[in-house]
Chain A
Amino acid sequence: MKLEGSGKLGERYVGIVGVRDPYTIANIDLVTAWARQQVVERFGDSGYELYFTIYGRNAILGDREPLKALPAHELGIVVQAIAPTKSVAEEVCMIATRQMFYARLPDVKGTAGGVAFLLDEVMLASPAYRWTLNHTMRLADPLELFPTFIVEAGL
């Protein structure tokens, strides 16, 4: 018999930003690192999970993307924050999303904002889960864990 299971990781909020500036695109890992660091300074480095998914570069294949070094002319970044409570998840997501706007890159003089906001908010998403059980169990009889009973309803 196949046994599969998943465990809840926490509540989740999602933020979305866009990037058009070529220098920012070329240094996008520094931008997400900056944003993550701002979260660390507020919450430390544990007790939450934070993901940046960078559409237009390697969102779908991750490190397996052969064209990772050739990003598109604009990027969409989806931020996911997961924490035990909605309020912490919301704040982690808000800091990580908004701080990309304020990221400091070497040689950039402008201070008007490094990313484009689709929405000036973060959105509640479904809670996050991860697979925790992927197992098969040998049974002598396929129905032994699913007994069938017949009872008189007395009607």
Chain B
Amino acid sequence: MTRGCKLAEIAKTIRSKHAGVDKITFDVIFPDQAAYDRVRESGVLSREAVCRLFGIDAAQITDHVEFDPALAIKFTVYRRTPSGSPGDADIFGSQQYGPLLDIEVPGC
């Protein structure tokens, strides 16, 4: 199978949330080992891929982990400005995951 699917179709949960004053953390959680492995091995959520998607430098990513026991890929990025500063339109960081939904995952 070479047909791709979207991350939103094979992940169980895709979310973002504020993490302290100056960071936003992202969780992508999968329903089973196969989906988790497929995304992990494809590299579509690697540090480099996340940088390309959001147009940020690697230094903006403070953490990036593949957490096997939860079948989850998690990463955390610095905010552009501290939460709630004037001009910050997402105080709780709760809508930053949007661009993740349409990521093409090969081979599913």
Question: A residues bordering B, Cβ < 8 Å?
Answer: 4, 6, 9, 12, 49, 51, 53, 59-67, 80, 82, 128-131, 134
| A67 CA to B56 CA, complexed, in Å | 15
- CB nearest neighbor in B for A4: B21
Is chain B's binding surface mostly helix, strand, loop or mixed?
loop
Closest chain-A Cβ to B54's Cβ sits at a distance in Å of 4
Pick from B20, B55, B85: contact of A63, CB below 8 A.
B55
Q: A-facing mask of B50-73, CB < 8 A → 1, else 0? A: 000111100000000000000000
Q: Offer 21 A-B interface pairs, CB within 8 angstroms, sorted by A.
A: A6-B84, A9-B86, A49-B86, A59-B89, A60-B89, A60-B90, A60-B96, A61-B54, A61-B96, A61-B98, A63-B80, A64-B56, A64-B96, A80-B86, A80-B87, A82-B86, A130-B85, A131-B22, A131-B82, A134-B20, A134-B82
Indicate if the CB atoms of B99 and A131 lie closer than 8 Å.
no
| A80 CA to B95 CA, complexed, in Å | 21
Indicate if the CB atoms of A129 and B89 lie closer than 8 Å.
no
Closest chain-B Cβ to A29's Cβ sits at a distance in Å of 15
Closest chain-A Cβ to B10's Cβ sits at a distance in Å of 20
| A122 CA to B2 CA, complexed, in Å | 55
Indicate if the CB atoms of A51 and B98 lie closer than 8 Å.
no
Indicate if the CB atoms of B86 and A130 lie closer than 8 Å.
yes
Q: Which residues of B contact A82 (CB under 8 A)?
A: 86
Pick from A4, A51, A59: contact of B86, CB below 8 A.
A51
Q: Which residues of B contact A49 (CB under 8 A)?
A: 86-87
Q: Is B25 interfacial (CB 8 A cutoff)?
A: no
Interface residues of B in 65-108 (CB under 8 A from A): 80-87, 89-90, 95-96, 98-99
Closest chain-B Cβ to A97's Cβ sits at a distance in Å of 15
